[in-house]
Structure 1
Amino acid sequence: MLSALLLSVGDTALASFMRQSAIAYPIVSSAHIIGLGFLIGAIALLDLRILGMVQRAHIVDLARLCSRFAAIGLCLAFVSGVMLFSVQPTTYLNNSAFLLKIALIGIGLMNVAIVHRLPQWSTLLETGAISPVLRVTAFTSIMIWLATIVAGRWIAFV
């Protein structure tokens, strides 16, 4: 049922427009890269600050700013990603690198949700104190998002 729903995205007017337009796909693809840049860039900057590799930025302000940029990036990447997917849903659903990328995005977003529910995260936002737990989650986050970038790049070659 989910597969049928995903495949039906390819039958929409938007998908037809994306396939027929000479410039729609490159524009949407660029928007997707920009969205991923905002999402992963904001997350990586905050993770690097938590790991102590960026010292000058005030952690509380940086956490709030990066959260906003990551949310904007996620929205842009999601909308543009659906548009790109609509062009060739069968091809993407049979592409192991695409499936890995989607799984890694899910894992990355679950990691964000879990971290934001940790008492250590609340403490960070209130006092700026960075716990060892947050350092581990920051390192894990960076690895997840780097793997996501690699999987996304491999889509064209699998």
Structure 2
Amino acid sequence: MLLPFFEWCEATMLGRTIRESLWMFPILESIHLVGLCILGGALLVVDLRLLGVGLKDSTIAELDRQARPWLLLAVAVLLSTGVLLFLSEAIKCYYNTAFWVKITTLPFAILFTLAIKERFARTAVYTSAYSRWVGTVDLLLWFVVAAGGRWIGFS
């Protein structure tokens, strides 16, 4: 059912250009990985504080406020480069289980981070059982997304 869409994506001029270029895919992938590093940093600062690990001199709300612009930048970079990388190998992605794990987990990770975690972090004063749960779930969701994305290259 979705295969014709994936074939169309790969056949687009942009998909062909990226796939046939010697440098475009590696440059896009490098930018994608830099975005992943920025995302990881922005997530870890807040999530580790939610878990009660480190940065205890700063409030959760303060860390969240400072990390949020970096988080949003990283998500924008990752989504834009991810779409371009996808276009260059859409049919491979269609048959790749790791791609489907990543692509189905990604919306949950984004929604959880921007809706549940961000709302909680803005009002959290101290580490609690609920804050540890929020930090753990957030880290696990993003780990699955990152691991799925990394595994695409190996399958």
| TM-score normalised per structure 1 | 0.85
In the other structure, the counterpart of 1:153 is 150
Greater relative CO (CA pairs within 8 A, separation 6+): 2
- Structure 1 segment 34-49 matched on structure 2, within 5 A: 34-49=34-49
Superimposed CA distance per residue, residues 72-98 of structure 1 (whole angstroms, 9 cap, x where no aligned partner): 000101110111111111110110011
In the other structure, the counterpart of 2:9 is 9
In the other structure, the counterpart of 2:30 is 30
Q: Distance in 2 between matches of 1:149 and 1:98?
A: 11
Contact kept, 8 Å, 2:10 with 2:90, in 1: the verdict is yes
Say yes or no: does 1:133 pair with 2:130.
yes
Contact kept, 8 Å, 1:123 with 1:129, in 2: the verdict is no
Deviating more after overlay: 70-79 vs 132-141: 132-141
In the other structure, the counterpart of 2:91 is 90
Q: Which runs of 5+ in 1 are unaligned?
A: none
Superimposed CA distance per residue, residues 45-90 of structure 1 (whole angstroms, 9 cap, x where no aligned partner): 2100111112234433310121111110001011101111111111
Amino acid corresponding to residue 20 of structure 2 in structure 1: Q
Q: Which 4+ stretches in 1 moved above 4 angstroms?
A: none
Shift of 1:131: 4.1
Q: Distance in 2 between matches of 1:141 and 1:62?
A: 15
Q: Which runs of 5+ in 2 are unaligned?
A: none
Distance 1:87 1:109, change over 3 A: same
Alpha carbon RMSD of aligned pairs, Å?
Answer: 2.1
Q: Report % sequence identity.
A: 27
Matched residues, number: 154
Distance 1:117 1:63, change over 3 A: closer
Distance 1:91 1:51, change over 3 A: same
